[in-house]
Structures are given as structure tokens and as C-alpha cells.
Amino acid sequence: MKKLTRDDLYPLEKYAEVRPGFRAQVMAHKQNRKVAIGPNATLYFEDRMTMQYQVQEMLRIERIFEAEGINDELATYNPLIPDGHNWKATFMAEFPDVEERRVALKRLKGVENKVWARVAGFDPVRPHADEDLEREDDEKTSSVHFLRFELTPDMVRAVKRGAAVAMGIDHPAYTHQVDPVPAATRDSLAQDLSD
């Protein structure tokens, strides 16, 4: 999947005009790119469109219009665009109550390494987690992790042909799975892959 360049972005003034329609398009697109695993964990799968939206929003909020600032945002978010042989996701541990979240994040240390994705007929794939920076300390994990699931060429071909995909977490304190993920989600994730 092609990375974003400055030429792909709307200038701030133009983005203000197109933002309502673009935002609606992105929100609809994202509906098929999330997988809730149990009641408190969700994988949000990123792609070129979700990252363009993220960059545009950051430029808008921060009022960034100079080349250096735009390039910094692109350098931050382009690594989250899939490379054709992987899925990239933002993992979120979601606990609305602050105290419950604090306790849960202590119990969930290492959860980012216990997430898995499985293409039907293949072994589960564990993600490469938090390649940009460490998000866990001696006491607790973070509520947000960035994950990269590397698929073999055979897995890629299988997904492109419509193989079912399952996802789950097998952490001692949190064990849930979705088997299979909805077909619309699988089809959206198949678009991240190239033969």
C-alpha cells in the first residue's frame, strides 16, 4: 500500500471545506476495520485512508501548514500503513471507569504479545508490538499498543481468496476470540494485502 506524501493531503483551507464529507466517508470505512475481542479490547486496523484522516486532523488541530511540520506528521503516521504483506492495528484496552482501568492494566501486563490473528488453515500469527517505543513498565501495560501482524505469502493468497480469519487474545487475565471475524471485516483487511 502506497505511503502518503504531501501531494496526497488537502491544504488546511481546502480540508475545512471537504472535512464533513471526508470524515463521514472515513467513519463508514472504519466500521469494517475494527474487531472487538471480548468486552474490553478492540483492534482498529489502519490503512492509507485512516492514516490520511489522522494526518489531516493533526494538521488541522495543530494549524500546521509548513513543509517541515507536515513531513513530521507523515513520518509519524506512514509506518502505520500496511505494506501489502501485513496488517497494522491500534490495540486498545477499553475500560470506561478510571479505577477499573488502573487495576486491569496491572493484570494485563504483556497483553500486546498475547493477541493473535489466524487465517483458516494456518497457525496463528502473533504481532510485533510497539516498534516505535515501549508502552509497558514494571507495573502495568498501556491501554494503547501498535501491532503489526506479518503474514506469509500463502496466508496472503488464502485471505485474498476468501479464507476465514479469526482473532483473539490468550492472556491469563483476558481470554477471548472472534472466530471468524465478520466477512465485511475480512474483505476490508484483504484490501491491505497484495498478491
Query: Which tens digits make up the pLDDT trace of 131-159?
Result: 766 666 778 999 999 999 999 999 999 99
Q: What is the pLDDT of residue 1?
A: 81
Q: What ranges in 79-163 are assigned the alpha helix state H? A: 98-107, 153-160
Q: What ranges in the chain are assigned the alpha helix state H? A: 12-31, 48-62, 67-77, 98-107, 153-160, 183-190
Closest CA to 89 of 152, 38, 40, 131: 131
Query: Which tens digits make up the pLDDT trace of 27-69?
Result: 999 999 999 999 999 999 999 999 999 999 999 999 999 999 9
Query: Which tens digits make up the pLDDT trace of 69-122?
Result: 999 999 999 999 999 999 999 999 999 999 999 999 999 999 999 999 999 999
Is 114 within 8 Å of 78 (Cβ atoms)? no
